[in-house]
Amino acid sequence: MRRILLIILTALLALAVPAAPAFAVEPVDIIVEDTAGVLDQNTLLPALEQIQFRDPTTVAIYTYRGDPNADYQDGDTVTNEETLRFAREEHPEWISADGQKWADGLFIFTLDPDGRWIGTYFGEDRKVDSDQAQDIRDEAAELFRDAQWTDGTIAAVQEAAKLINRPWYLNPATWIAGGALLLAAAGTWLTIVTVRRNRLKTNRELIAKAEKSYANVSMDLEATELNANTIPADSRYGAKVLEEHRTFRTRYNTATELGNTVRAFSDKDLKRGKTRKPVEEFAELATSLDGIDDVIADTNTLLNMGPGWQAAWDRQAQPLLGELEKLEDLFEQDHTGNTATAAALLAFRTECRRRLQSAAADLADGSLPPEAALDIIRDSGSELAGLLKNHSETVIEKAAKDSSEKKLMREALEAERSRPRRYRDGYRPGILDTAYPNYFWSVASFNAGVQAGNGKIESARSTASGSSSGYGASGGSFSGSGSSSRF
């Protein structure tokens, strides 16, 4: 490791040896075609004349008024196409003799103040990479957003002069990369140690949690079997829970084998990546079994109205009641509290609370069978899901601009809604979601879907407003170096 650090440091010191400065020259020619009429040439020309390039360069400035609604056409921008059209018709000297490239020694800067496009184009002996071209446009973009057309154009040409034919040893990326290599080499050992230490800590925590759940399941095995034997098989809920019980013993045996495997791991083993999978499998299976045996117990108690049925009922109703409490947070996040769909959700919250309280009272006096009471929870959860779906359309209409963005938002919402819940993360099943998985839509997953959808929309917009290097159908086989982007 010390030898590697020494080699990298020596290389960086070698780069630090002063190099001969590049020869600075003013533009060979400055051509301004301000057809949009937005530039102050009395300010622009003197400023451009003072800019120093490393090699003799012709600077061409072209402005035009485009369509504000124009956008991508098969990956090309109208600005690239328009710049090429103008050059062919008005300045054929901007194009190489074979008609396929921009002329050597040329830098073209194009501005469309109405369509809000910027273009940068280079002769083959003056071209820069795409990131540097974007840097040139970015220098102008901030000023252009304030309609400072002349100052923005000057700033762009100044940046172009810095980047065109810049020697490799003056490229900040060279120093950044060298420094990054040095830091990476120096930090590799520390990173490995930290990762392994964190892995050991995580695995220990998962194993401790799994062992606690496994112990609970083991102690309750006999009670679980007794509970399962007295669950009414003709009940819709009872039948679903009994399906889970049929494989309970097999899964318990698997958990036993995984536990034996995990317990044999030393601390050194637990620091390795290959132990992660069995540890996580043991944790997930043990905690899931711990949840399922509770469901079996509650199902038996509630359906048979045995001692403690009130607590069993509360455990079934609590998840839905908990979601009702979170509705205010939902409206605060998406700022849709004053909408009709939000009002419908709040009205449902009041009605649902009353409905569940009434069901509990009817259960107590024997006028409502347990299965019918569970149906009330299920139907209420389904109603909440429907109301949230309606509200999602309100959120989508506010966030999305077009049908493609709406589709992205809907896909994100559905993906979060259907995401599997992990027992080791704290999920505990009840009778309802054992019999009818995802019978309601949680506010947490709704909010996560909105956040994910907004992220997808922003990413799509960023891509759509990015740079393009094509010249459209009219460009033919022209492949001159250049690209454009919006500001």
- The domains of the chain are located at 20-166, 191-304, 307-464
Rounded Cα–Cα distance for residues 137 and 149 (Å): 12
For 56-94, give one letter per residue: b (16+ CB within 10 A) or e: ebbbbbbbbebeeebeeeeebbbbbbbbbbbbeeebeeb
Question: Which tens digits make up the pLDDT trace of 84-97?
Answer: 999 999 999 999 99
Least confident piece of the model among 12-21, 228-237, 452-461: 12-21
Least confident piece of the model among 38-47, 118-127, 222-231, 468-477: 468-477
Rounded Cα–Cα distance for residues 98 and 427 (Å): 68
Rg (CA), the chain: 34
> What is the secondary structure of 44-75 as a DSSP string?
HHHHHHTPPBSS--EEEEEE----TT---BTT
SS3 30: strand
* pLDDT band for position 481 (cuts 50, 70, 90): confident
* pLDDT band for position 180 (cuts 50, 70, 90): low
CATH number of 20-166: 3.10.310.50
Q: Are 312 and 295 in contact (CB under 8 A)?
A: no
Question: Which tens digits make up the pLDDT trace of 268-286?
Answer: 999 988 999 999 999 999 9
Q: What is the 3-state secondary structure (H, E, C) of 142-186?
A: HHHHCCCHHHHHHHHHHHHHHHCCCCHHHCHHHHHHHHHHHHHHH
Q: Is the pLDDT reported for residue 20 higher than 50?
A: no
Tokens at residue 458, please? 């922003």
Output 379 or 15, whichever has higher pLDDT. Answer: 379
Rounded Cα–Cα distance for residues 270 and 281 (Å): 14
Question: Which tens digits make up the pLDDT trace of 139-155?
Answer: 888 899 888 999 999 99
CA-closest candidate to residue 359, choices 346, 373, 345: 373
* pLDDT band for position 420 (cuts 50, 70, 90): confident
Rounded Cα–Cα distance for residues 188 and 190 (Å): 5
Rounded Cα–Cα distance for residues 210 and 203 (Å): 10
Q: Which residues are 470's β-sheet partners?
A: 76
Q: What is the pLDDT of residue 73?
A: 47
CA-closest candidate to residue 126, choices 110, 139, 107: 107
Rounded Cα–Cα distance for residues 352 and 324 (Å): 9
Tokens at residue 320, please? 């839905």
Cβ-based neighbour number of residue 338 at 10 Å:
8
Token pair 């999920």 is found at 427
> How would you classify the pairing of strands 29-34 and 117-122?
unpaired
Tokens at residue 192, please? 């490995």
Question: Which tens digits make up the pLDDT trace of 231-257?
Answer: 999 999 999 999 999 999 999 999 999
Q: What sign does the dihedral 123-126-130-131 (CA atoms) show?
A: negative
Q: Are 289 and 251 in contact (CB under 8 A)?
A: yes
